Homo-oligomer: A and B are copies of this chain.
Amino acid sequence: MIEEIEVRTRKRCELIDITGSVRKVVAGSGVSDGVCHIFVPHTTAAVTINEKADPNVALDIEATLEKLVPPDRGYLHMEGNSDAHVKSSLVGVSTLVPVQGGNLVLGTWQAVFFCEFDGPRNRRCLVWVSE
């Protein structure tokens, strides 16, 4: 069963920690051992796993992506968000995390982040667990 996480983003480019919501889906799934799948149904957003202990890590990721793929590079797509599409393909819209004993198995420093590249918007993230 696919669960939907709603994410309200506040900036154009922003990483938002959604680990708590993902853990709730895992707990509610009743699956003890398996895979937690995460899928972002947008083309100017993504999902990644990285450090949350120091919030500067997320800020550095946002700033580095902006430097690598700047918004104003002379793109063909006329909506002014081509850079967001490129960032989405670089980071990716899907990921998977192990589930063991009914819990999400993340490393000590890992958290799951929704990546907004063309906000602010109301976004969705699909999460489901397979045995």
Contacts and interface: CB of A to CB of B under 8 A. Distances in A.
Interface of A: 1-2, 33-35, 37, 39-43, 48-51, 54, 56-57, 59-61, 63-65, 67-69, 73, 75-79, 82-83, 85-86, 88-98, 100, 105-110, 126, 128, 130-131
A60 B56 CA distance: 29
Nearest to A70: B64
Contact of A89 (B2, B48, B67, B75): B48
B98 A95 contact: no
A44 to B, nearest CB: 8
Given A50-B85, A97-B94, A130-B130, A60 B77 contact: yes
A48 B46 CA distance: 11
